[in-house]
Structure 1
Amino acid sequence: MARIHPELVPISFIAAFSLFLALPWHWRARNVATLSIIFWLFTVNLIFAVDSIIWGDSIDIIAPIWCDITTKLIIGSNFALPAACLCICIHLEQVSSVRAARTTSADKRRRQIFEACMCFGLPLLFMALHYVVQGHRFDIIQEYGCRPATFVTVPAIIIVWIPPIIIAVAALVFAGLALRHFMLRRISFAAHLDASHLALTTSRYLRLMLMSVLQMIWSISITAYVLWFTLSTSRVHPYISWANVHADFSRIDQYPSLFIPQLIQNTFYASWWVIPASTFIFVAFFAFGREAVDEYRHAFRWVGRKVFRQKSNDTSGTASTKQLRQLKLPSFTNSAKEQPPTPLSSFPPSYRIPTPPTPTKFSAQFDEVSFGDVSETSSRFGPALSYQPPSESVITLASATELEEGSAPSTAATLAFVQPLQHAVPLPPLPRDTRPSSSRPLTYPSYDRARRGGS
């Protein structure tokens, strides 16, 4: 018997291993809900791939223990994925509301425990409850492999199909509330996320919310369709007793493709696509974000260093730490002992410090300058105060390097007054209106009589 859908195996493997693209960031963030989505999608995709390989062209009972385990895991995934999206939407609604202004480590731990119970405890509970309505061990469908068997009764509808729809609708409600909070706080939303001390940004927030909404719409649509198709093609049996339901429990039903109606085959094919499509939706939102691109870059660099022994070249336009430590600032002095700075060829762009121009040597001729009659100044303050400069003054500008090394200053940085001064330059007299009227020593530059005690 030839395969009708040969694409099932490669699509299942591609979907399963594509989840590793989004795994590193979520693993570091310790987000239990998203990690559970990755776990359940990877597990079911791997089951679908193996089942398509084993039963691609046969319906033989080859691995019954494998089928007993995998059929229960398929039942659990029907509850785990909506529950994980519900946890994500609840968390997003709490973050965007005023109730989560600040998140502590205790709050994060309680949230992780709640998400673990919802994403793993709840599926385990319904996996056990499925045994209540399980009429026989499992079914084997050609090309699709093992599938869980359910005895269609009212308790089966309540246990198997209604809870996933209720969980998905609750997730949509919380997603709507989170979107409402976001619209009200859209101006200061980034600052609010930063104040909450969470590894969330506005981009991640929106991606999580949109992913959850799409997953829930997709899950509700397929689950409602499968429920409608089951009720329209099968009769709802009364649940008489436990013994009546499990009367022939060890039976394994086998369905070759040749005897399956086309409508039922299309339903099997559509329900098979639920898991791969959910995987691709998840990967599309989280495998091409900025944090994922950074992870790919680090992974390629690690492979290049460890496998191909390549040296890491920094082509981002910035200097490495070692180059910054070797950087030597140039000096503007012309000292003979100073070596020119070593150019950094890896610095883009290269530059050259121009040599400063040599200062011009100039001279100043001071003639005898008279500041008027100083006889009155001499009579009140003693002999006239005067300043006699040296016959030749030399003012030298030396660099810090020359001062530390004790070397002679460079002649290019010397300013000289080469003309001697022949006469003393007396100080100018005080203005007449500011001279003190008392012969007492001047102690404070104030001439107000009130401040001098009225004298």
Structure 2
Amino acid sequence: MVDIEVSLDGGETIVPNFDWQDLNSNSDFDPYSSSTSPGAIILVVLSFWALAISVPGLTWHIRNRNLPAASMVGWIVYLNLINIINALLWPNDNINSWWNGQVYCDLVIKLSIAGGMGLVGSLACIMRALAQALDTNNIRLMPSKSQRIRQLVLENFLCVILPLALALLHFAIQPLRFYIFAIAGCEASYNNRWYTVLLSFIWPPVICVVNGYYAILLIIRIYRYRRDFSSILASSTSGMNKSRFLRLFVSALTVLLVAIPTQAYALYVNAVNIQNDSWTPASWQTIVYVPTYGTVFPDCWIHVGIAVPVFLCFGWGKDANSVYRSWLRLLGFTKVFPALAAKTDNSSLLPSPVTNKR
């Protein structure tokens, strides 16, 4: 790839120049082609599909005030939305026609950093809640006030506070403003110092280890209590039946199995490339344009893929039908189909500190 630095003085965008010698290795590449990459078109279509099928699950979890589940699905929706916007803004390698992304990319890269942490943090909350639902040594008919407060604090810390903290800490470890890649769009920049690993890349894998512990514990408990599964859930404070429990577990486990190798790889790559040279101040007004020759980054496809288990678990069945019915009622279809006015079951998929309060 070719990195083209763009200096921005007083907000002025200077069109970059190519170093043609760097392009000799790819003689078929036309840097001034304005043709939209096929990869960009495919990514937009699939990301829109992934976003659309994730919305029913997001609506359901928000309605039931399930912060961890809503956070997990919400970040999936966000990542696919950014896939769409970025591929539409930078669909080809003609960098002379590119928008510099100021303000938009500044916000997107911080939210994307928060999203990576928020996704694994929400998974940890989900796995913990599911494990507690099958903890036969600590079954309670109703959580105490202190338990609800602890759960609320933990959920907000892992789903909101820690992700935002990592996003803000990025200001201390970014060597330049941001990168813009063809199709993938805005990407964060990191310096290759040891403190970058400690301030950013180590935390998602640490939370993934916690997720892995709860996932293994859940598998053991599901197998151990397979004959009394439904009765244990009925006596717990989860408010879940067997079907909802397993759907939530399968969706969270699938996303986790994708998150673990990707987060571990990011940690490994940055750890092995640590340099010990002297610190240099950040070049805050430098943007780097990078043509990709029509290649779509793997993480863009991952964002599409993790929406599939969410849809398979929450996009159909009784829960999803209640969401679809509510949308049709809002659109006024009750006059045409009076049966839409019938009430549906709105019980929660997770024990919420709010909804469980008496």
Q: TM-score range by the shorter chain?
A: 0.7 to 0.9
1:158 deviates by: 2.9
Q: Equivalent residue for 1:104? A: 143
Which structure 1 segments of 5+ residues have no match? 315-455
Show the 5 A alignment for 1:29-428. Answer: 29-57=64-92, 58-59=94-95, 60-97=98-135, 98-104=137-143, 106=145, 107-228=147-268, 235-238=273-276, 240-241=278-279, 244-246=280-282, 248-258=283-293, 265=295, 269-297=297-325, 299-300=327-328, 302=329, 306-307=332-333, 309-312=335-338
| In 1, Cα distance between equivalents of 2:241 and 2:228 | 12
- Please say if residues 140 and 237 of structure 2, whose CA atoms lie closer than 8 Å, have aligned partners that are also in contact: no
Kept in 2, the 8 Å contact 1:83–1:118? The answer is: yes
**8 A contact 1:12–1:49 mirrored in 2:** yes
Say if 2:131 and 2:218, in contact at 8 Å, map to a contact too: yes
> How far did residue 311 of structure 1 move?
4.9
Number of residue pairs matched? 301
Matched residue type, 2:335: R
The whole-number CA distance in structure 2 between the counterparts of 1:313 and 1:210 is 32
Q: 1:109 to 1:180 in 2, by over 3 A?
A: same
8 Å contact kept, 2:50–2:307: yes
Once the two structures are TM-superposed, the CA of residue 285 in structure 1 deviates from its matched residue by 1.7
User: 3-state DSSP class of the match of 1:7?
Assistant: helix
CA 132–257 in structure 1, closer or farther in 2 if over 3 Å, else same = same
SS of aligned partner of 1:139: strand
Change (3 A) 1:117 1:64: same
Q: For 1:209 and 1:307, locate their aligned partners in 2 and report how far apart those are by CA, in whole Å.
A: 34
The amino acid across from 2:321 in the alignment is V
What displacement does 1:166 show? 1.7
The 8 Å contact of residues 22 and 292 in structure 1, kept in 2 or not, is answered as yes
Counterpart code for 1:212:
A
Mapped to 2, the partners of 1:157 and 1:290 lie a distance apart of 44
SS of structure 2 residue aligned to 1:257: coil
Q: Tell me the distance in 1 between the aligned counterparts of 2:171 and 2:126.
A: 29
Partners of 2:314 and 2:226 in 1: CA distance: 22
Shift of 1:183: 2.4
Deviation, structure 1 residue 297: 4.7
Q: Which moved more, 1:116-125 or 1:25-34?
A: 25-34
- Residues 113 and 100 (structure 1 numbering): CA distance in 2 closer, same or farther, change over 3 Å? farther
Question: 2: CA distance between counterparts of 1:239 and 1:94?
Answer: 48
Find the aligned partners of 1:245 and 1:223 in 2 and give their Cα distance. 27
Range with greater deviation from structure 2 (79-88 or 61-70): 61-70
Kept in 1: contact 2:43–2:84 (CA 8 A): yes
- Could you tell me how far apart the structure 1 residues matched to 2:131 and 2:181 are? 42
Kept in 2: contact 1:134–1:245 (CA 8 A):
no
Task: Name the structure 2 match of 1:12.
Answer: 47
**TM-score in terms of structure 2 length:** 0.76
1:338 is matched with which residue? Answer: none
Amino acid at match of 2:140: A
Q: Is the 8 A contact 1:55 1:143 kept in 2?
A: yes
* Offset at residue 298 of structure 1 (A): 5.5
Deviation by residue 1:231-281 (Cα, 9 ceiling, x = unmatched): 67xx4322633xx142x23210111234x9xxxx4xx52122222222222
Query: Alignment partner of 1:186: what SS?
Result: coil
* Cα separation, partners in 2 of 1:103 and 1:181, compared to 1, 3 Å: farther
Percent identity, aligned pairs only, is 23
- Quickly say closer, same or farther: Cα 1:205–1:161, change in 2 above 3 A: same
1:28 aligned to 2:54? no
From the superposition, tell whether residues 74 and 311 of structure 1 become closer, same or farther in structure 2 (CA, over 3 Å).
closer
Amino acid at match of 1:69: L
Instruction: Report deviation, 1:120.
Output: 0.8
Q: Tell me the secondary structure at the aligned position of residue 278 of structure 2.
A: coil
One-letter amino acid of the structure 2 residue matched with residue 191 of structure 1:
S
Deviation at 1:174, TM superposition (A): 0.7
